[in-house]
Amino acid sequence: MRKSGRKLKSLFYLTIIVVLCIFWGGCNKKGEITFEQAADEVFSEEISNQSEVGESKETERMKAGGTDVETDAWIYVDVAGAVRTPGVVKLARGARVYEAIELAGGFAKDAAISAVNQASVLQDGQQLYIVTVEEQKTKQLSSSEGSLETSGEGRVADAGKVNINQASEEELMTLPGIGASKAADIVRYREEQGRFEQIEDIMNISGIKEAVFGKIKDKITVQQ
């Protein structure tokens, strides 16, 4: 409809120019030049209008297609466990744990708040699980019972092994196949998800699968 309207508008201008040429003295050479110049201006305006329409349509097409230059500025985190309204929340990249908890309605009454590192930085696609006080007590009890296991000589059975629940990044890097990046991931996992219940849980870390686990399983422990 817009294109048809512009054509009618251009035709209207041309008709007026022709009438003016006839009225001012006919189609002499000077009149013809004036007519051509005027016609050129009309057609130039038409081309400019078409260009603007094209740009407008391209902008609309990009919007319709969901183009979003700020997509990378957001992350999505699944907040579960002892919060008031569990679910997926949208946060700015670089957001902290406490911000995700706020968007999930805050801590539930039975949440083990002291077990949560609220200053930890979140990652896109992460699940943030908040344990209850009861769950925390169960884990602590399990850990306490396990620490009492001793060898026949009366020494702690896992003595000399790297405790993945307590080791620093530097200590973790002494394990075969564990570099700085994986060591940092192990520490981050402890802060966000809680202690490792068994050594196999270390395979929850991205990049640590059967091959790496096979190299370190005899060198690590979860006991205190």
> Residue 105's pLDDT band (boundaries 50, 70, 90)?
very high
Q: Which residues have CB under 8 Å from 163's CB, separation 6+?
A: 220, 221, 222, 223, 224
82-89 long-range contacts, Cβ below 8 Å, gap at least 24?
82/107, 82/108, 82/110, 82/111, 82/112, 82/130, 82/131, 82/132, 83/107, 83/108, 83/111, 83/130, 84/108
Say if residues 220 and 173 touch (Cβ distance below 8 Å).
no
User: In the prediction, which pLDDT does 29 show?
Assistant: 46
Query: Which is higher by pLDDT, 185 or 46?
Result: 185
Q: Do residues 81 and 56 make contact, with C-beta atoms less than 8 angstroms apart?
A: no
Residues in the chain: 224
pLDDT at 96 (0 to 100) = 93
53, 3 in Cβ contact below 8 A?
A: yes
The pLDDT of residue 33 is 46
CA 20 to each of CA 34, 41, 81, 174: distance values in angstroms, whole numbers, following the listed order? 11, 16, 82, 94
Task: Identify the residue with better confidence: 72 or 39.
Answer: 72
Ranges of beta strands (E only) in the chain are 74-81, 87-92, 127-130, 162-163, 220-221
**Average pLDDT value for residue range 18-25:** 61
CB burial of residue 45 (10 Å; 0-12, 13-18, 19+): middle
- Is pLDDT above 60 for 75? yes
pLDDT score of 67 more than 50: no
Per-chain mean pLDDT for the chain: 75
